[in-house]
Structure 1
């Protein structure tokens, strides 16, 4: 493929099915015009020879996507993938990443630890984690933003920076390595050519919300760049949830020659976030938004509290509300990456990239504040070859990678002296985490309509950390205990799939995928009681999954995707809260099953009208798991086989009906109504307590004409529904007198679980283009 044709092919590959159908005619016309421009330029060069003819470039030259190299996330063959473009969220508040990714089937989002943090779960992958993203790999512009310990956070970026999001679903360790249990998510920043100047905007809303943002972008003959910046602040609907955060997000590409390209990525985010305490179910029902909780001594009913040591060492404890203790997060994240591509010949490209990722955290969020510096390095190098094997089109890929994380984690006792009340140390976890390995892939076209894909990844992972635990008994000297952990893991992940274009507009796929994830270093040193101790025998979790799916595109009117999946897990890592004053504990469930159905639909019955819907059903349950509960000297086991895995929402759906005037003086005037449904779900391994389900409605009106100014007004949670926005999984407990587990009544009063979702909020925004 010539350089002039390559950009068009890549642009088409990155579009969703609906957009492909809708813009097929325009795309073909643009391709012909580019071909004519190339021919005219060659004729002109022949008529007027020059010593060094200048290359012909058009506004559609695409040097952001990875040339001839096999893209990681923007064009995945043989797997269930959904792409969400900014048409779905550019005229909305988009206050967090949740406002984007929840539009994809199979994706559930919850509020994380803090007002801007979001927990993202793909097929239940992150359901038991109360913050960030685990068990999926996260990328930006194909640069990894998941550190080698498996954690990615979604509060470091602003949705206004993005032009599209790709969601790859299903076990994917052959392609993405460690922790790709649920798949991968790739955020694509807006391209410089799409911005072509300056855009600046301001969104404002209830509870003091304001987001001032701007983007600069441009594309030239050999270079393209986009630079985004924003500052966001809000007071929060829940007591003590004020925050301020700033973000810089940049992407630049430069064509060194016709055969060499450089791409640079930079992200910086820093934020101050006040945190409220997670509540028990009874506290949530009494006072969901933590009103009147400034002081424990005069707190209103339903206020959550923590228990801190009066002297920060031992002895007497004092109850404090979140406001009194000034619970907070002050985190800083810096990511810098560079990618180099070189075309070895017309069919083979070599790609090498490196990423530096620094996470600096200061989190007095509980009775044991946490501070840490976690700096990581990621290096990959790979070859992609496109050619023919036995007369069949073939794409081959082989690559190697290395990840390193320097883990410096420190925990302390909290004193009553507010955010800076740091007392004696409780534990340090110091050391490193390394992952290294290789992967290979072949995509072979058996016929024009039938394609087979096979891949494999092999990885060596090493956790080499050391815990130092401090204890301060009354009337005795302090004690120090050390516990080294050197764990080595070897994982191999194969995959295979078939893709068949049955008829025009209908494509079927069947896939066998595998995934694995080693334990997190911190989980090795927390006991079932929620205190520092030895838990170093945790095993890596592994899964084998089958997907069968279909995509349908009927012209520019209807597109749909339907996927059924069945995944078998071994040693699934399950985490749960032991209480508000304790640490989360992780254990292995020997066997479990995840299965479900995912449906996505987009229908345009007439010009300007659009109906979008997604539906997901998850049946996740244990098949072999005996849990031991202990209370004092009494211990008992409970068979959890057949129980639903807590934290996983069985059924959730989104539907949006909208209209945008397609022509005339009011072109761009429109709006939509959106409905979100979530069923109730279990909060403990015994399935004794469930978070209630809910249905929310949103309303949006906007005016986005072709000119320089656009406006929107949006009402989120239109009917002001009080709902559970986030619920941490709770540990069951044992009645020492009867030897039986406590029932729902005790769990209802167990704190450390629930945050209320956002009440009805009005937002408005304006954006100008220059």
Structure 2
């Protein structure tokens, strides 16, 4: 029945579009992108960058995970594990694909505040899509201007309040007992000074999950307050809090994935694997215009994050004196400051923009490990509970990164961009758990790297840009990867070095068919790729594997076909391989699909009935470094229809959506190099969601 309703609505919407008078060519207002720090239209930016507006983030989508909308962006894999105890699996051009939890190799920013720690470990749990104004994805060499682990950048911006005060409420319900309740208040105050705008949002979500033992509850609150002062300076305050509890069903073997995708690993039930996260954060963004086109900006933030995770490590394995136990108890205090100066002047009579600044980020964590059982190891009294202490350390981490960027309009057609960043990352660990057979693992390490980038753009016509970009990036080991040495000696793994990459890209952008058409060719050569070195005595260790090469092509187009009929398409071909000592191509980098494709068509008027269809496909993914296990490729479709009403002081948005329309059986993601062969995290079968959002303006 829901499919029939959706098909009817699509037919009606598309029929209206066909019956309309032939549409004239639509002149799109330029969309400014911010991630290069020199705001300009996407057409004029000499880099691969995509922007998703807030309305498109939620257009017929539940708005639970960022992966829902990032599927349309070329070059990025954002895969839903259907396991909220872990984060989304996100990689950009293959960077971050090795991560079995959290985000690595890709830097995340929310309102200019890093959601990535100085060591390159990031998370997405505090992003509130309900109040987002936009999401930008920066790919390729230009992302090197953000320092460590910047194989790609994801920037999320909260929308400022506008217009008369509005209060709203939302309800989302769907398959597997999905429930989310939300409240929002926003608006502008019409004040010349003081509080000028606000956007407050809070939500509560519960979900039983597609798989057994995958229940989730999440409470999220976000606030953005804007202040204007008499000297034309402005201050934005951003605060958010997240409280999440999630069961962890772990991955499945190939046999279990094929025969019982809703199932769960037996140890997950035995040890009640689960995770809790509580995080609170406050950020300030101060901007002051100065005479002569100069601007000063300061971004400061501080936060606390508490994580407790129960793992399924058998109690017998934990008998090794070096084992850290089966319960992770991690508390983090973090803070940072980014001071930036922007000057808009001229050089030889041509416009010149200079951006100079320094970023400092600091994190202090108290990491403990406990046994996941009580009683003697031979006959434990209870499993899945916090037992004896097995690890206790204090870690500090900081980075100090001065940077300078310049953009010069050489003439009417040529623009030259250049940037340089000097990144210093410092690790220090103090071991407080020293026992016979478990020596002192205290130590420190420091990594430093110059990160240059240069880009040249040529305006072939007012609607066409050509560009070439080159840059150098690097990625340090995270604290988890640095903790232990493969030779089982005490101390940090000083032999583990950062990986460094040379990135090259050429591209073309063209306004065509009422939208923007982009194409980019890229190549990335990486030295000292960080990979797993195995596990001994319960300690996972890492090593530098050697060289890798990634090269590929990205294509995308989006725009209005006719009237309110909107289309979007993207395609990525990426060959990512280890390099043999002879310099020839070796095995594929696990976790990276060779091909990704996306297409959508939507009838999206400002008011009235709306409908759309989406299709996305992905080729086979290797699950381990030996390329002996893989997840097959797939293609899935989704349909939605809804109604939007704007009447006087009221607004109403409602939709119904069906995902995985043809009930395909496929792996939503893989756990790369999982030691027990449980590589596969099944995607949900056919599932539905219904959303209702109503608001009133005073």
1:100-499 superposed matches below 5 A: 100-112=69-81, 114-115=83-84, 117-172=87-142, 174-180=144-150, 182-193=151-162, 196-219=165-188, 220-222=190-192, 223-290=196-263, 303-306=264-267, 322-367=268-313, 368-415=326-373, 421-467=385-431, 479-499=437-457
Matched, 1:79 2:37: no
Q: What's the CA shift for 1:536? A: 3.7
Q: What's the CA shift for 1:214? A: 2.0
Distance 1:119 1:654, change over 3 A: same
Whether the 8 Å contact between 1:530 and 1:585 is mirrored in structure 2 is no
Q: What's the CA shift for 1:625? A: 6.3
1:434-482 Cα shifts (integer Å, max 9, x gaps): 11120001100001221100110002221111346677xxxxxx54311
Question: Which residue of 657, 660, 667 maps to 1:717?
Answer: 660
Q: Secondary structure at the match of 2:625?
A: coil
Q: Which residue of 2 aligns with 1:573?
A: 530
CA distance in 1, matches of 2:581, 2:131: 44
Whether the 8 Å contact between 1:69 and 1:349 is mirrored in structure 2 is no
Q: What's the CA shift for 1:177? A: 1.4
Distance 1:641 1:402, change over 3 A: same
Q: Which residue of 1 aligns with 2:318?
A: none
Q: Which residue of 2 aligns with 1:552?
A: 510
Larger relative contact order, structure 1 or 2 (CA cutoff 8 Å, min sep 6): 2
Q: What's the CA shift for 1:156? A: 2.6
Q: Secondary structure at the match of 1:704?
A: strand
Q: What's the CA shift for 1:230? A: 0.7
1:586-610 Cα shifts (integer Å, max 9, x gaps): 3212211111111111143311212
Q: Which residue of 1 aligns with 2:463?
A: 505
Q: Secondary structure at the match of 2:119?
A: coil
Q: Name stretches of at least 5 consecutive residues in structure 2 with no aligned partner.
A: 1-24, 314-325, 374-379
CA distance in 2, matches of 1:609, 1:668: 13
Matched, 1:650 2:575: no
Q: Which residue of 1 aligns with 2:680?
A: 754
Whether the 8 Å contact between 1:625 and 1:641 is mirrored in structure 2 is no
CA distance in 1, matches of 2:511, 2:42: 19
Q: Secondary structure at the match of 1:480?
A: coil
Q: Which residue of 1 aligns with 2:6?
A: none
CA distance in 1, matches of 2:41, 2:589: 29
Q: Secondary structure at the match of 2:636?
A: strand
CA distance in 2, matches of 1:751, 1:614: 33
Whether the 8 Å contact between 1:164 and 1:187 is mirrored in structure 2 is yes
Distance 1:507 1:276, change over 3 A: same
CA distance in 1, matches of 2:572, 2:296: 39
Whether the 8 Å contact between 1:266 and 1:336 is mirrored in structure 2 is yes
Whether the 8 Å contact between 1:112 and 1:131 is mirrored in structure 2 is no
Q: Which residue of 2 aligns with 1:727?
A: 670
Distance 1:617 1:178, change over 3 A: same
Whether the 8 Å contact between 1:284 and 1:756 is mirrored in structure 2 is yes
Distance 1:605 1:646, change over 3 A: same
1:675-754 superposed matches below 5 A: 675-707=615-647, 708-730=651-673, 750-754=676-680
1:3-152 superposed matches below 5 A: 22-24=27-29, 70=38, 77-90=45-58, 91-112=60-81, 114-115=83-84, 117-152=87-122
CA distance in 2, matches of 1:419, 1:260: 57
Aligned pairs, number:
645
1:415-449 Cα shifts (integer Å, max 9, x gaps): 16778611223323422111112000110000122
Q: What's the CA shift for 1:675? A: 0.9
Q: What's the CA shift for 1:143? A: 2.1
Between stretches 534-543 and 364-373, larger displacement belongs to 534-543
Question: Which residue of 580, 590, 604 maps to 1:660?
Answer: 604
Q: What's the CA shift for 1:544? A: 1.1
Q: What's the CA shift for 1:622? A: 1.0
Q: Which residue of 2 aligns with 1:606?
A: 562
Over the aligned positions, Cα root-mean-square deviation in angstroms equals: 3.0
1:10-61 Cα shifts (integer Å, max 9, x gaps): xxxxxxxxxx964549x9xxxxxxxxxxxxxxxxxxxxxxxxxxxxxxxxxx
Q: Secondary structure at the match of 2:55?
A: helix
Q: What's the CA shift for 1:340? A: 1.6
CA distance in 1, matches of 2:628, 2:143: 34
1:105-159 Cα shifts (integer Å, max 9, x gaps): 1111123583373121111111111222111111112222212221221223332
Whether the 8 Å contact between 1:725 and 1:755 is mirrored in structure 2 is yes
Whether the 8 Å contact between 1:425 and 1:470 is mirrored in structure 2 is no
Q: Secondary structure at the match of 2:672?
A: coil
Q: What's the CA shift for 1:89? A: 3.1
Whether the 8 Å contact between 2:441 and 2:490 is mirrored in structure 1 is no
CA distance in 2, matches of 1:405, 1:184: 21
Whether the 8 Å contact between 2:115 and 2:124 is mirrored in structure 1 is no
CA distance in 2, matches of 1:356, 1:72: 30
CA distance in 2, matches of 1:331, 1:529: 34
Q: Which residue of 1 aligns with 2:317?
A: none
Q: What's the CA shift for 1:85? A: 1.3
Distance 1:731 1:762, change over 3 A: closer
CA distance in 1, matches of 2:127, 2:684: 20
TM-score by length of 1: 0.79
Q: What's the CA shift for 1:374? A: 1.4
Matched, 1:515 2:473: yes
Q: What's the CA shift for 1:577? A: 7.8
Q: What's the CA shift for 1:377? A: 1.3
Distance 1:133 1:532, change over 3 A: farther
CA distance in 2, matches of 1:114, 1:417: 29
1:618-629 superposed matches below 5 A: 618-624=574-580
CA distance in 1, matches of 2:381, 2:664: 36
Question: Which residue of 681, 693, 698 maps to 1:767?
Answer: 693
TM-score by length of 2: 0.86
Whether the 8 Å contact between 1:496 and 1:513 is mirrored in structure 2 is yes
Distance 1:175 1:274, change over 3 A: same
Q: What's the CA shift for 1:380? A: 1.3
